[in-house]
Amino acid sequence: MMDDERAPRFLAGGGEMGKLTREFDWSKTPLGQPEGWPQSLRTTVRLLLNSRHPMFIWWGQELIQFYNDAYRQTMGPERHPSALGARGRECWAEIWNIIGPQIDYVMAGCGATWHEDRLVPVTRHGRLEDVWWTYSFSPIDLDDKVGGVLVVCRDVTSEHNATQSITLINEELKHRVKNVLAVLGAMASQTFHNVASRADLAKYLERVSAFGRANDLLIAANWAAAPLHDVVTTALQPYQTNEGQILVSGPPLFVKSQQALSLCLAIHELATNAIKYGSLSAANGHVSITWSVDDRDPEPQFVFVWQEIDGPPASEPREAGFGSRLIPRALKGDFGGSVEMNYEQTGLICRLTAPLNNLKSRLT
């Protein structure tokens, strides 16, 4: 044991664990007095004691232990303060089957390890708890070999449990949405039961199916947002007939949940029309779907274009049907932009332009 005035400078500071480390009788361990410790161990101990991130050290063949105040917060009375200066294998016997091979890997000179959201149970406060950790084991050099292992870690149990809860809720929500859509389909089948209504029933069920696919995508993305490319490809799943007939390209962008729904439904209507009357009805016809960011103006614009090529000439319908009304209204309202429908000799062109800031900047 030594007082603070006689303690080596590298043991200065470090809060409660710094004090305990200075007062510990290291002469009773294989390390001996701190004045004789290797420089790499001194430097790492000083780093550990003065860090606010949970850190732990195993040193030497006996894996003598050090830890800091931040790591102490993750321990129960079963190990604190008895773990300080103790041998690693004896201290962590209950989980040695998990961490032992990882320590051996580092001590053998094979490099560092990384473990994310990993279950490593810990006994604390009288019971074995399931604790999830994100941590790394890194080598501490000693001359031309590895002298010890530095652990930098974080208890991520609360985040893990929150993610699991969200997953369960989303699965339940997905199940309920599918049930609701199935009920709507059954009601429609009963309502449109005569022969004359079968075509209308088929259109309705196709739209319900498109809505269902969009919901599945959003549930997978936790409802906050969805990658634009995934939204487009999900909407196109039933219409990919010949390879290369529908071309999709654009930079990585994200759209909000309601934008994903309206875009999915709009693509369904455009694709259905293209198969019946547009470029996808022609042997050599195809569709180009592109999106880009136009930053020439002070406010960058998101530009989404559906373009039909090498199909029959497009003509504006005399009477606006469901799709003709849905596409401009839904896209304009949900994206806060403008929609142009151009009926060209080479095919239909639908262009959506909206402020880039109206899209989701990232997944959250």
Q: Mark out the alpha helices in 50-156 (DSSP H runs).
A: 69-72, 88-91, 96-107
Best mean pLDDT range from 101-105, 215-219, 341-345: 101-105
pLDDT score of 176 more than 90: no
Where is average pLDDT lowest: 172-176, 251-255, 294-298?
172-176
Buried b vs exposed e over 202-231: b needs ≥16 C-beta within 10 Å?
ebbbebeebbbbbbebbbebbbebbbbbbb
Greater model confidence, 162 or 302:
302
Quickly state the pLDDT bin for 41 (edges 50, 70, 90). very high
Half-sphere exposure of 294 (CA within 13 A, CB side): 13
> Which sign, positive or negative, has the C-alpha torsion 191, 196, 200, 203?
positive
Average of per-residue pLDDT values in the chain: 83
pLDDT score of 53 more than 70: yes
Phi and psi torsions of 308, nearest 5°: -95, 135
pLDDT, tens only, 275-298? 888 898 888 889 999 999 998 878
pLDDT score of 164 more than 80: no
With beta carbons less than 8 A apart as the criterion, state whether 228 and 262 touch.
no
pLDDT score of 5 more than 60: no
**Where does residue 326 rank: exposed (0-12), middle (13-18), buried (19+ CB within 10 A)?**
middle
Q: What is the pTM of this model?
A: 0.54
* 148-172 average pLDDT score: 80
* 21-31 average pLDDT score: 94
What single string gives the DSSP state of each residue in 317-364? -SS--HHHHHHHHHHHHHHTSEEEEEEETTEEEEEEEEEGGGSBSS--
DSSP H/E element including 293 = strand 286-294
How much is the pLDDT for 236? 84
